[in-house]
Amino acid sequence: MYLGVSAAAPSHDRGLPSILVEVDGVGYLFDVGEGTQARLQEARRSIHDIRAVFVTHMHGDHFFGLPGLLQFMTLSGRRKPLKIIGPKSLQDYILCSERVSGHARSYDIDFRRVVEGVVYSDENVVVEAFRVCHSTVAYGYKLYTRPRVHVDLEKLRRLGLKPGPYLSRLKRGETVVVDGRVVKPEDVLDIEPPSVKIVYTGDTRPCISTVNAARGATLLIHDATFSALHAEEAREKMHSTAREAGMVARLSGVECLALFHISARYRDTSLLVEEARWGGARCVYVAEPLMLHAIEV
């Protein structure tokens, strides 16, 4: 669900960047623009269900809503720890806001500095970070459902093996020795690729790392601050046009493309969709606040 979708300053009631991904009742929040806590309430989402928060980069419109959200969690009596992934200075900001406001948190924060690669995983999802191309150090995030792993009984039989506890180790990706013989996961396991893959760029120019991260994605949420009519400004400010977002969608062959981080100058956004459509994604739309994009697994 999109909570806020506008660029830099809130405009046309679009709110500042924040996206809530929900998987089996667990919430993963990407960016926390000012006003996120209010939008979560409007959307009737419980902040207790948010397990992890991911921040793309340290421009204020992407994280100024975090201190209020964290304080609201205490007011609501949260006990469950919260995972926060973001640039190092985000942690400084959290500490500073808590110090000056005297906020005594009722729960623990497990902060992890974002680096490229896997930054988070739980029983539902894996989240990887990748560098994007912006005016400051910035990351995009790729979230995918855990690959499903099944034991192929036929392969097992052919190798003359019997089921045993070693299978759990294989499922965790380890290579094991059974009856004096080396067995790799792929020897006896079927690994289904992730059924859902969502990629969020944060702020970026069109970027080869995004193309790689988004290959075959179910949904690509891409910076589309400007129309191609303002391509020069997009280059200068290190953002993308809707047309460029369409190009990235085409190169990575995504199913759906959501245009995000829209400049206040575009009240009517149909032009942006027209521009991005040439990328050939099956669906192309401009993300709107409280818009829910449901994906069947």
Count of residues that bind its own copies according to CB under 8 A:
38
Task: Looking at residues 114 to 153 of the shown chain, list those that interact with its own copies (rule: CB under 8 A).
Answer: 136
Query: Contact with its own copies (CB under 8 A): which of 3, 5, 21, 35?
Result: 35
The reply to whether 100 sits near its own copies by the rule CB under 8 A is: yes
The reply to whether 78 sits near its own copies by the rule CB under 8 A is: no
Query: β-strands 197-200, 139-145: how paired?
Result: antiparallel
The reply to whether 9 sits near its own copies by the rule CB under 8 A is: yes
Cβ–Cβ < 8 Å for 65, 50: no
- 2-19 core/surface letters (b: 16 or more CB in 10 A; e: else): bbbbbbbebbeebbbbbb
Cβ–Cβ < 8 Å for 210, 257: no
The reply to whether 195 sits near its own copies by the rule CB under 8 A is: no
Exposed/middle/buried for residue 195 (C-beta within 10 Å: 0-12, 13-18, 19+): middle
Closest distance to its own copies from the beta carbon of 37 (Å): 6
Closest distance to its own copies from the beta carbon of 223 (Å): 17
Query: Contact with its own copies (CB under 8 A): which of 3, 16, 82, 245?
Result: 16
Nearest residue (CB) to its own copies, 35 versus 206: 35
Closest distance to its own copies from the beta carbon of 32 (Å): 11
Nearest residue (CB) to its own copies, 65 versus 140: 65
Residues 190, 148: Cα–Cα separation, whole Å: 8
Closest distance to its own copies from the beta carbon of 105 (Å): 12
**Residues labelled as active-site residues:** 61
> At 158, phi and psi to the nearest 5?
-65, -30
Nearest residue (CB) to its own copies, 144 versus 226: 226
Exposed/middle/buried for residue 208 (C-beta within 10 Å: 0-12, 13-18, 19+): exposed
Residues 275, 81: Cα–Cα separation, whole Å: 43
Q: What's the distance, CA 121 to chain centroid? A: 12
The reply to whether 60 sits near its own copies by the rule CB under 8 A is: yes
Contacting positions for its own copies (CB under 8 A): 8-11, 13, 15-16, 34-35, 37-38, 41-42, 58-61, 63-65, 67-68, 71-72, 75-76, 89-90, 92-93, 96-97, 99-103, 136
